[in-house]
Amino acid sequence: MSKLAEHIKALILAEGPMGLDRYMLECLAHPSFGYYMTEEPFGVSGDFTTAPEISQMFGELIALWLAEQWLLMGQPTNTKIVEIGPGRGTLMADALRALASVPTMLENTSVHLVETSPRLKSIQAETLRARVGIQWHNHINEVPEGPMLLVANELFDALPIRQFIKTEQGWAERHVGLSDDNAFEWQDIACTAPPHIAAPTAQVGDVIEVSPASSSLMADISRRIKFQGGAGLIIDYGYYENATADTLQALKDHTYSNPLENLGSSDLTAHVNFVPLKNIAETTGIHVFGPVPQGVFLSNLGIEARANQLAAASPEKADDITTAKERLVSFEQMGKLFKVMGLAPQERHASGFEGRS
């Protein structure tokens, strides 16, 4: 049994069944045993592969979108380029290389990474070693004042969720408890109806997921952009409707596993519901672009032309470049499940959001 499993069992024995949100937080972010504190999640050798690890084109196109917003803002000199949850630093490395082609932009901006894992901070520092002056923060509210160009790629899917299940007797909230033989098991505890628009129409067996942590972070991002200026991109796999479904999943070695097993050595995620995120941003008073499918967004930004450029420069890699491009944009792969949502203080031009199909 892992040390994390022992720790969580001790908490359950002392306090009773543990809510799913706290269980996820312990599994992912425990300072000594949590998955993101101890494991190498990304890439072929990890448990999953993110878009920046698939192709440099992803980070380059994200950078060009941010550069467009910076130019529309009037090129403010105190702008902060911010990534929350930067993984291995691959996206930022590709983005900074692309931004070097925008006159005076890198000289007039600073780079800030929001990361809580000491292990990942070390990896990011190695990836970005050629870039001096990068600052790390534990929370977005620690980023110095000024306009912010933000990207959060596959961040919200890893934030803790709560699950509510409609039963014959009413609503119950999912917890993690211990069975008679001291094994982890799901335990659903009666509760009031969840704060979710789909709750009144839910049928027996339906599951509703809410993420207070996601709502809180989205509120912080929205307020920052509203009152200090800037723009942002939220990119994640998820949905844009009030769905009722159990989307919790565990990944280990690129394979789905039981969320109650491999504690601390498997990733726990859930599909992102963009509806509340968009509502929070709009309630704060900022303009929201999309969400649109990732494939639409990248195609609108010119990924086809960029792929052709790279293939012409390296003909021996042309097939690999085409394969990577299709993986990012094809609706049969990442192009539809992943969504992109843009943020700005007010309505203005924003390439990439011309269609939603």
Query: How do the domains of the chain map onto residue ranges?
Result: 25-159+208-344
List C-alpha distances in Å: 114 to 89, 135, 324, 337: 11, 9, 27, 25
Three-class secondary structure assignment of 164-191: EEEECCEEEEEEEEECCCCCEEEEEEEC
Nearest-angstrom CA–CA distance, 316 and 336 = 29
The pair of three-digit structure tokens given for residue 315, joined into one six-digit string: 């003909």
- H or E stretch covering 39: none
Q: Return the CATH architecture of domain 25-159+208-344.
A: 3-Layer(aba) Sandwich (3.40)
* Predicted pLDDT of residue 253: 80
* Predicted pLDDT of residue 17: 97
Nearest-angstrom CA–CA distance, 286 and 220 = 12
Q: What pTM, to 2 d.p., does this model score?
A: 0.93
List C-alpha distances in Å: 183 to 149, 180, 187, 271: 46, 7, 12, 27
Nearest residue to 287 via CA among 222, 241, 239, 338: 222
List C-alpha distances in Å: 312 to 237, 302, 319: 31, 16, 11
Tens digit of pLDDT for each residue in 163-194? 999 999 999 999 999 999 999 999 999 999 88
For residue 267, the cross-strand partners are 251
DSSP 271: -
Amino acid present at 109: T
Whether residue 4 contacts residue 263, with contact meaning beta carbons closer than 8 Å, is answered with: yes
The pair of three-digit structure tokens given for residue 282, joined into one six-digit string: 């709009």
Low-confidence ranges of the chain (pLDDT < 70): 40-48, 130, 355-357
Per-residue burial over 241-260, b = 16 or more CB atoms within 10 Å of its CB, e = otherwise: eebbeebbebbbeeeebebe
Task: Compute the half-sphere exposure of residue 185: CA atoms within 13 Å on the CB side of its CA.
Answer: 9
Amino acid present at 232: G
DSSP 30: -
The pair of three-digit structure tokens given for residue 145, joined into one six-digit string: 């004042």
* Predicted pLDDT of residue 44: 47
Number of helices and strands (H, E) in the chain? 12, 16
List C-alpha distances in Å: 292 to 172, 206, 333, 357: 33, 26, 15, 8
Tens digit of pLDDT for each residue in 111-130? 999 999 988 999 999 999 86
Nearest-angstrom CA–CA distance, 308 and 298 = 14
For residue 250, the cross-strand partners are 257, 268
In terms of C-beta density within 10 A (0-12 exposed, 13-18 middle, 19 or more buried), how is residue 183 classed? exposed
Q: Are strands 109-114 and 79-84 parallel, antiparallel or unpaired?
A: parallel
Radius of gyration in angstroms for the set of CA atoms belonging to the chain, rounded to a whole number: 21
- H or E stretch covering 294: helix 294-301
Task: Compute the half-sphere exposure of residue 103: CA atoms within 13 Å on the CB side of its CA.
Answer: 0
Nearest residue to 224 via CA among 114, 113, 142, 107: 142
Say which residue the tokens 């969840």 belong to: 194
